Amino acid sequence: MFHKKSITACIVTPEGKEIRTFRTHTVFLLDLIDWIKEHRCTHVAMESTGVFWKPIVNLLEAEQIEFLVVNAQHMKAVPGRKTDVKDAEWIADLLRHGLLTASFIPDRNQRELRELVRYRRSLI
């Protein structure tokens, strides 16, 4: 779950679930990636909320960690009261059971080209 100030993440292990919240500044996103690597996660799923997923995807790509960016409207709602922790657990469970469909995310070169074109259009 993404917010302007924090990201809540859930890792599922044979021992259970571990949940942590990270701030969205680069140094804290690097802590998130380190945490993912420490647990030897092979796949990561996240909602495509605003632009907050983009820096995480860039970091995951750099570490060659598989990821799915999922449209929140394509997932069934979390049963019960909605919280960031419940959302993170729900996404982790859906990923674990293969029930998520990834949104199309262009490769890094294509994303960078799109950014340049958008910037150019803003100047014209």
Maximum Cα interatomic distance, the chain, rounded to a whole number of Å: 56
What is the CA 103 to chain-centroid distance, rounded?
12
Mean pLDDT score of the chain, rounded to an integer?
Answer: 90
Is the pLDDT score of 4 beyond 80?
no
* Residue 93: pLDDT band with limits 50, 70, 90: very high
Q: Which two tokens stand for residue 33?
A: 């990636």
Tell me what pLDDT residue 43 has.
94
Choice between 83 and 39, residue whose per-residue pLDDT is larger: 39
What mean pLDDT is predicted for residues 78-100? 87
Tell me what pLDDT residue 59 has.
95
* Residue 66: pLDDT band with limits 50, 70, 90: very high
Domains plus CATH for the chain? 6-123 (3.30.420)
Give the whole-angstrom CA distance, residue 113 versus residue 72. 26
Choice between 72 and 35, residue whose per-residue pLDDT is larger: 35
Is the pLDDT score of 36 beyond 70?
yes
